Amino acid sequence: MHEMSLAESIRGIVEEAREKSPFGRVRTVVLALGELAAVEPDSLRFCFDAVMKGGPAEGAELRIEAVPGEGRCPACASRVALHALYEPCPACGAYGVEVTGGNRMQVLELEVE
């Protein structure tokens, strides 16, 4: 499952941060989640809770900030808002819009104590 491997990569980021500057536990993980990242937030929360068990981020709150999808149309050169992958260009109707943003997941911040 996609969400499970993302949760594991978040755990890796937490462990790495803890090696650099030791902390007791993680209170909140703030995540930027692209609209086009094909991640189901509820499913990610479920996986997050499961993966963090027994570690410094057990019971941490997962705060998800949605990042809107963005693309650039090669046909009309418009910069467009994309709400799904492989959608036609909303300006000219052409297919093949290149995704330029909102397709990734990124840990923005770890609130630790």
Closest CA to 62 of 87, 40, 77: 40
73 touches Zn ion (CB under 5 A): yes
Nearest distance from residue 37's CB to Zn ion, in Å? Answer: 23
Which strands make up the sheet holding 79-82, listed edge to edge? 79-82, 69-72, 98-101
Cβ–Cβ contacts within 10 Å for residue 57, how many? 27
Q: Which of 13, 30, 75, 85 binds Zn ion (CB under 5 A)?
A: 75
Q: How far is CA 19 from the centre of its chain?
A: 23
Cβ proximity to Zn ion, 68 vs 96, nearer residue = 96
Q: Which of 1, 38, 50, 76 binds Zn ion (CB under 5 A)?
A: 76
The total number of residues written for the chain in this structure: 113
Closest CA to 86 of 12, 42, 36: 36
Q: Count residues binding Zn ion (CB under 5 A).
A: 8
Residues 81-100 that bind Zn ion (CB under 5 A): 89, 91-92, 94
Cβ proximity to Zn ion, 73 vs 112, nearer residue = 73
Cβ proximity to Zn ion, 66 vs 92, nearer residue = 92
> Which residues make up the interface to Zn ion (CB under 5 A)?
73, 75-76, 78, 89, 91-92, 94
